[in-house]
Chain A
Amino acid sequence: MIKQPVKSESEPSTERSRRKSMADYLADNVKAIPPSGIRRFFDLVSGSKDVISLGVGEPDFVTPWRFRDAAVYSIEKGRTQYTSNAGLPELREAIAEYLHGRFGLTYDPAKEVLVTVGASEAVDLALRALVNPGDEVLIPEPSYVCYSPITKLCGGVVVGIETRPEDGFKLTPAALRAALTPKSKVLILSFPNNPTGAIMTREELLPIARVVEEHDLIVVADEIYAELTYGAKHVSFASLPGMRDRTVLVSGMSKAFAMTGWRMGYACGHPEIIAAMLKIHQYTVMCAPIMSQVAAIEALRGGMEEMERMVESFNQRRRLIVQGLRDIGLPCHEPQGAFYAFPSIRHTGLTSEQFAERLFREAKVAAVPGNVFGKGGEGFLRCSYATSPTLLQEALERIGKFLKTL
């Protein structure tokens, strides 16, 4: 840099000590995020043979052909362009109709629906649109792994609320109240829950809604597993009295329609919040891929039967794994949603990580240690039952034998 001839003494110096390593170039808030615990386990497991994996967080169904065919056809017809930032109007309409038909929600497709790259992007956008540095984000845990890192990237403060097995891993109003401070701003609700399989009924959600109202919170409701409930029908938090405008509903096509790789998610909520999220979305990703959007329209308009068939199949396997885990001596609360069982391994004296690692090495079964899902996950193991009944039974047999060696 050329030195200016006239320069006051108080001018800040452009000199700085040179950075010593690549890590010094990284942004502090990124460095502060610990690497994903799942990633570590993935590295351990990947590449090994003859392992039965109960570690998979996605359906074992391939996307039904009629959805795939719709996308293939659209590619053949040359629909390869950008869409409007918020997503194809036809898709937004299909989403609004679907949410109305299934969960009694009413959203204006023009202003209150935003199509995103997976529900993950929707969570990111919602938190970025809502969180100021120092704001506290309340996260019931164990939970899916993205909420806390995204909060930190926004400069927010993570306040984990432990949900307990004796409450069926549901969020209680008492636990929520105990975590509140004047800085509390956002509450994340992810029910049906990954990894616990817990759901919350209308009766259980109503007192939570009261606390939300009293303390002027805003809720990011990640309802990606909404269709995957067994017994009780899912109740959308936004459908509760007074909660519609306080809720950013996040969902997507991945779990119920077996469309994980398409990255199709959406967010619905108050037009001002959606507009703010759209602003970030248009600068960062422009729009979700058009082929995926076309497939999603087909799924929402003509895929209910396929979806219900898959849900029934998950339910059958859920009963199989829960019964099987109990039979071999692992206490397991009844998961009523998603496709995970979350048995306790506490009585073995091992930590979740020790148990999972030994189970993998000695019995060739991969499952995810509960501690990676945050507070309250230690002492548990996440077992996905999105696997064929034959493999499930084989895995249960292997776990049973392994338990006897402890």
Chain B
Amino acid sequence: MDDLRLKILELLREDGRLPPSTIATMLGVDEETVREAIADMEKKHVIVKYGATINWSKVDDDKVTALIEVQCTPERGRGFEKIAERIYLYPEVKSVYLMSGAYDLLVEIEGKTLKEVASFVSSKLAPIESVISTKTFFILKKYKQDGVIFEELNGDHRLAVSP
């Protein structure tokens, strides 16, 4: 990928709401070039989605997130694809990764309560035929996500005016 596209992606990852005109100025190219690059990357699913990073612990309607290590038997010819699909199609499942190491899939599940997540694991995830075992880890606190520290200690401590 060319350098300009990489820079556009870096900027959008930090702030998905940056308008193409601003990005164009910041990178010293014309707006049309940026618009075309973004449209093309959206079309090719390089840019998949624009969202917000939310600190849910500050929302009354808090959420419970768990990471589940799943060991499973791959299927002949299809590896882990089909099992992964059977898992990721559930809306409760926020992410699924194929992992190296002691287990195969890492599944992130979000629910309203501990019980809800636990029951999803026992009634939906564990019974899948090729699943050998699951280990559930509840997330107690998120310190940093997507490169953002939630309780930023730093702030701007600079003097308002300095030489």
A303 at the interface (CB under 8 A from B): no
B61 at the interface (CB under 8 A from A): no
A262 at the interface (CB under 8 A from B): no
Closest to B17 in A: A390
Tally of A interface residues using CB under 8 Å = 30
**B27 and A319 form a contact (CB under 8 A):** yes
- Which of B18, B28, B160 is in CB contact (< 8 Å) with A389? B18
Known A60-B156, A62-B154; judge A389-B161 contact (CB<8 A): no
| Bound: A275/B26 CA distance, A | 45
Q: Please, what's the 1-or-0 string for B100-123, where 1 marks a CB less than 8 Å from any CB in chain A?
A: 000000000000000000000000
Q: Interface of chain B, helix or strand or loop or mixed?
A: loop
- Which of A38, A53, A320, A389 is in CB contact (< 8 Å) with B15? A389
Known A316-B27, A319-B27, A319-B28; judge A46-B22 contact (CB<8 A): no
**B161 and A320 form a contact (CB under 8 A):** no
B158 at the interface (CB under 8 A from A): yes
List A contacts of B26 (CB < 8 A).
Answer: 316-317, 319-320, 389
| Bound: A146/B66 CA distance, A | 57
**A41 and B27 form a contact (CB under 8 A):** no
List B contacts of A140 (CB < 8 A).
Answer: none
List B contacts of A45 (CB < 8 A).
Answer: 160-161
Most chain A CB inside 10 Å of its own CB: which residue of B22, B25, B161: B161
| Bound: A389/B26 CA distance, A | 9
Most chain B CB inside 10 Å of its own CB: which residue of A36, A60, A324, A389: A389
List B contacts of A393 (CB < 8 A).
Answer: 22
Closest to B19 in A: A393
Known A62-B154, A389-B15; judge A57-B163 contact (CB<8 A): yes
B159 at the interface (CB under 8 A from A): yes
Most chain B CB inside 10 Å of its own CB: which residue of A45, A53, A194: A53
Interface extent on B, as a size class?
A: 10 to 19
Closest to A57 in B: B162
Within 8 A of A (CB), among B99-157: 154, 156
A56 at the interface (CB under 8 A from B): yes
A290 at the interface (CB under 8 A from B): no
**B162 and A42 form a contact (CB under 8 A):** yes
B154 to chain A, nearest CB (A): 5
**A366 and B158 form a contact (CB under 8 A):** no
A323 at the interface (CB under 8 A from B): yes
Q: Please, what's the 1-or-0 string for A9-44, where 1 marks a CB less than 8 Å from any CB in chain B?
A: 000000000000000000000000000101001100
Closest to B155 in A: A62
**B161 and A38 form a contact (CB under 8 A):** yes
A257 to chain B, nearest CB (A): 16
**B154 and A55 form a contact (CB under 8 A):** no
**B161 and A56 form a contact (CB under 8 A):** yes
Within 8 A of A (CB), among B1-39: 7, 11, 15, 18, 22, 25-28
List B contacts of A359 (CB < 8 A).
Answer: none
**B163 and A145 form a contact (CB under 8 A):** yes
**A46 and B15 form a contact (CB under 8 A):** no
A364 to chain B, nearest CB (A): 11
**A144 and B160 form a contact (CB under 8 A):** no
Binding site for B on A (CB under 8 A): 36, 38, 41-42, 45-46, 51, 53, 55-58, 60, 62, 144-146, 194, 312, 316-317, 319-320, 323-324, 366, 368, 389-390, 393
Provide a sorted-by-A list of 27 A–B residue pairs whose CB atoms are within 8 angstroms. A38-B161, A38-B162, A41-B161, A42-B159, A42-B160, A42-B162, A46-B159, A46-B160, A51-B160, A53-B158, A53-B161, A55-B161, A56-B158, A56-B161, A56-B162, A58-B158, A194-B163, A316-B11, A316-B27, A317-B26, A319-B25, A320-B25, A324-B25, A366-B160, A368-B161, A389-B15, A393-B22
Binding site for A on B (CB under 8 A): 7, 11, 15, 18, 22, 25-28, 154, 156, 158-163
10 closest pairs, A vs B, by CB? A55-B161, A316-B26, A57-B162, A42-B161, A53-B160, A323-B25, A45-B160, A145-B163, A38-B163, A56-B158
